[in-house]
Each structure stands twice: as C-alpha cells, then as structure tokens.
C-alpha cells in the first residue's frame, strides 16, 4: 500500500507539473505557482518542479520596483532557487538557479550579492561569457551612479571632463577598482564569444568611465575615449551583420535605399 501511494504521488506530482508548465506558458503565473507548489508537495525530490516554481515567482517580479509585494515575489523566487541548490542538483540546474538568484539580486539593486552569485556561476563554468558580461554590467552600473551624482552637483555636461583634480580624485577613489574589474570582465566575455556585441557596447561605456578618472592626464583621457569609440564601431558592425544574416534566414529583404 505504501508503494502504491508513493507511485500515485509520483504520477500526481508530474500531472501538476505539466499543468503548471501549460499555465506558465500562457502567462497565468498565479495558477502556475499553485500547480508547481502542489507538485513539490507531492514529490519534494522533483527538482524540475521547484525550478519552475522559482521561475514562476520570478515571472511576477518587476526589476527596480521597490514595493513590498514585488520584493516578496523576488524573495520567494530566491528561496526556491536556494532550495534547488540545497538539493545538490546536476550542474545545469545548479547554474540555472545561480543565474536566477543573481538576476533577482540585480533587479533588487543588491549589486554585490548579484556579483557574488555570478562568480558562483563561474566556479561551475569558467567559460560562461554571460557571467563575465553580467559582472561587467554591474561594475558599470556601480560606477555610473556616483559619476552622475558628481556631475549633477557640479552642473557638468555629460561629455565635459572633470577639471577639478580634487573632485576627480574623489571619483577615482570610488570607481577605479570597479572600472578595472569591469574592463577585465567584459574583455574576457569577448574573448570567449568573439561577436559579443553587447559586451562591446558596455566596454565603450566603461572606457568612458575610465576616461573620467584620468585625473591630470588629458592624453590618457583621449586614449580611453578613442577606445570607447572603437568598441562602439565594432558593436554596431556586428549588430548590422547579425541583422543581415537574420534577414536572409527569414527571407526579409532589407531596404537598401535609393
């Protein structure tokens, strides 16, 4: 009888999982969460159901919105992803959970925690270009905020250099380590994925942050801005090529102009 009950729970858990997947595909997240919760309750060892449950909670989370309900959705998703990790899953599921937690922390603007989990991804797979890219994006985000705050305080235009050396030193103290890490991470992402146009676009932005902390050396600033422009050109060139290749595959004829 115990074996029969176990077998019935196994079948019911998978039935709830399938119903949850269908609800999730149709963006009925609350219904999906209900099915996935039932699936996990019937078979706690069904890791894929817990992954789907975390993803469904994630689907209700809106990055950057600081309301109690929204934060609660993020926390529930993180909790389920963490339970996946605690179950000692295979490498693929572990990486999926780690990336999910990292993305949620980024959406909550808890940038150091987001980087912590992207680094855990790299412990599992040191050749994952997206993890390097994500750390680079976070580094840029963390450098951009104090830069903009300083410029607003001094009423400086976006492309205007910081002429006050004391002010420049203040910004360099805050941003130098992050700029270096960001440049290194984005370069590594491109090394692993040669046509990583998004990483090139952020390298452009990061070199502009680097230019702003080249205190007292206008030549270095010019060199950084030149590199930034080069990465813009590379990114645009790759995006154009990808668009042309996609149009050939779908049969869309690009307007060549007259």
Task: Write out pLDDT tens, residues 6-35.
Answer: 557 888 999 999 999 999 999 898 999 999
Residue 15: CB atoms within 10 A of its CB come to 14
CA-derived radius of gyration, the chain: 23
Task: Quote the DSSP letter at residue 254.
Answer: P
Q: Tell me the two tokens of residue 5.
A: 């009950």
Q: Tell me the two tokens of residue 79.
A: 């909790």
Rounded average pLDDT over 94-108: 97
**Location of structure tokens 């209700």:** 60
Q: Tell me the two tokens of residue 102.
A: 């990292």
Nearest to 80 by CA among 112, 46, 109, 107: 46
Could you tell me if 108 and 141 are in contact, meaning their C-beta atoms sit under 8 angstroms apart? no
Question: With bands split at pLDDT 50, 70 and 90, how would you rate the model's confidence at 254?
Answer: very low
pLDDT at 225: 96
pLDDT at 220: 95
Following CA atoms 90, 93, 97, 102 in sequence, which dihedral angle do they give, to the nearest 10 degrees? 90
Task: Quote the DSSP letter at residue 117.
Answer: H
Please check the confidence at residue 223 and state whether its pLDDT lies above 60.
Answer: yes
Task: Quote the DSSP letter at residue 253.
Answer: P
Please check the confidence at residue 187 and state whether its pLDDT lies above 50.
Answer: yes
> What's the predicted TM-score (pTM) here?
0.88
- Looking at the chain, the whole-number percentage of residues with pLDDT higher than 70 is 94
b/e per residue 207-243 (b: at least 16 CB within 10 A): bbbbbbbbbeeeeebeebbebbeebbebbeebeeeee
């Amino acid at each position: 009888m115990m074996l029969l009950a176990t077998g019935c729970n196994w079948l019911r858990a998978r039935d709830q999982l399938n119903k949850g997947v269908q609800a999730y595909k149709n963006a009925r997240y609350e219904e999906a969460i209900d099915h996935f919760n039932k699936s996990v309750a019937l078979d706690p060892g069904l890791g894929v159901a817990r992954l789907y449950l975390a993803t469904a909670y994630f689907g209700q989370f809106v990055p950057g919105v600081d309301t109690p309900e929204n934060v609660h959705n993020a926390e529930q998703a993180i909790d389920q992803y963490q339970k996946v990790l605690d179950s000692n899953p295979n490498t693929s599921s572990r990486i999926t959970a780690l990336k999910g937690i990292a993305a949620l922390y980024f959406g909550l603007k808890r940038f150091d925690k987001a980087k912590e989990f992207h680094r855990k991804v790299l412990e599992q797979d040191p050749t994952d270009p997206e993890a390097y890219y994500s750390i680079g994006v976070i580094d840029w985000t963390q450098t951009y905020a104090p830069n903009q705050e300083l410029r607003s305080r001094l009423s400086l235009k976006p492309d205007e250099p910081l002429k006050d050396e004391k002010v420049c030193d203040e910004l360099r103290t805050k941003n130098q380590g992050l700029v270096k890490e960001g440049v290194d991470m984005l370069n590594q992402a491109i090394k692993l994925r040669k046509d990583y146009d998004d990483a090139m676009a952020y390298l452009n932005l990061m070199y502009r942050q680097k230019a702003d902390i080249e205190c007292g050396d206008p030549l270095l600033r010019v060199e950084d801005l030149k590199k930034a422009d080069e990465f813009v050109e590379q990114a645009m060139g790759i995006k154009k090529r990808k668009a042309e290749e996609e149009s050939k595959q779908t049969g869309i004829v690009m307007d060549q102009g007259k």
